[in-house]
Amino acid sequence: MEKVTHFVGQSLAFLDAVEQAGRAAELIRPVLVIGERGTGKELIAERIHRLSPRWSGPLIIMNCAALPETLIEAELFGHEAGAFTGATRTRAGRFEEADGGTLFLDELGTLSMAAQDRLLRAVEYGEVTRIGSSRPLNVDVRIVAATNEHLPDAVAAGRFRADLLDRLSFEVITLPPLRGREGDVEVLADHFGRRMATERGWAGWPGFSAIALAELVAYPWPGNVRELRNVVERAVYRWNEPDQPVGAIQFDPFASPWQPRPPTISKVPTHRPNGAADPTPAASPAPPEEREDQVMVALDEIGDFRAAVDAHEAAILKRALARHRFNQRATAKALGLSYDQLRHCLRKHSLL
């Protein structure tokens, strides 16, 4: 079944990038897609291919960072049988596979200088030579490349060929990070939430609570859309009240009060030749570990009794919810409350 590509967003920065990709698709010229991880560079490459005159040809995708340097050239250009140890048969490279279509090179900036030299000739003359062969092959391939690196800086540092960059940058599309796409977090969160609710078999989509949605909007999203999708799908998957708005968001799935700690390395005391003890002082014992569920209150600093009590109650509720994986019925039972009493307390402290 052919994969269907969806573009979800309404911000001007995002729509401008999508429109730019549509215009670039019309000409069979190289396109360079720049963007942080998780911004959708591969989706843009697919859009360029599908809207181009060669939409019926192959779209071959290669992640340059996923292969060791010794295999990159063999993957790109192919090899003859016996060309190197382990080459038991002739194999066509990605350029040959993409003949008449589009070759998407992801993580372009990780290519070695040797691979860049051969790529330059393939782009310039439309010729590739398999490893172990002296006969060049003509190929008709449109190159779309992507990277999360500013390649002019790599050129200045001597890590990327300037002439190759000139040939690949006929059009450069820079994708905005999610933090720069105003209004798109809400739209994307709703989209991914609905899909996960359907996957879980929910009768409807209750949406997110106001507090949960505010947390999603305020988060900086270093992993961009890919990270947002994981966070939203995890939140829906863990939510056990399908008739209530999703109210618990966990951005870091590794966060836990029981996560493994790095091993403590004890220093073995050494002795000087004259028998004197090593003057290096022994490490002082670590202070006693504070319990995760202990609530510290600076009694002398309390100026508002009611606010202090409310803050203490809210902290207890948050801790209990987290301990019971945001299952409200289990939390109510652990706190000795009825389900309705717990719901009342959560609403009181705006935790729903």
Q: Which residues contact 328 (CB under 8 A, 6 or more apart)?
A: 240, 241, 321, 339, 342, 343, 346
The answer to whether 67 touches 25, Cβ cutoff 8 Å, is no
pLDDT-wise least confident of 19-33, 80-94, 127-141, 225-239:
80-94
Tell me how far apart the alpha carbons of residues 36 and 222 are, in angstroms, rounded to a whole number: 8
pLDDT tens track for 184-231: 999 999 999 999 999 999 999 999 999 999 999 999 999 999 999 999
The answer to whether 151 touches 107, Cβ cutoff 8 Å, is no
Token digits for 109? 């900036």
Consecutive H or E run containing 23: helix 12-25
128 - beta bridge partners? Answer: 137
DSSP per residue over 173-234, as a string? EEPPPGGGSTTHHHHHHHHHHHHHHHHTT-SS---B-HHHHHHHHHS--TTHHHHHHHHHHH
pLDDT tens track for 230-264: 999 999 999 999 999 999 999 999 888 788 888 87
pLDDT of amino acid 13: 94
pLDDT tens track for 265-316: 655 555 555 555 555 544 444 444 444 444 444 555 666 777 777 888 888 8
Q: Which residues contact 343 (CB under 8 A, 6 or more apart)?
A: 328, 352
Domains and CATH numbers, the chain: 12-176 (3.40.50.300), 181-256+291-348 (1.10.8.60)
For residues 74, 156, 32 and 5, what is the CA-based torsion angle, rounded to 10 degrees? 80
Query: What pTM, to 2 d.p., does this model score?
Result: 0.72
Token digits for 103? 């070759």
Tell me how far apart the alpha carbons of residues 336 and 194 are, in angstroms, rounded to a whole number: 34
147 - beta bridge partners? Answer: 34
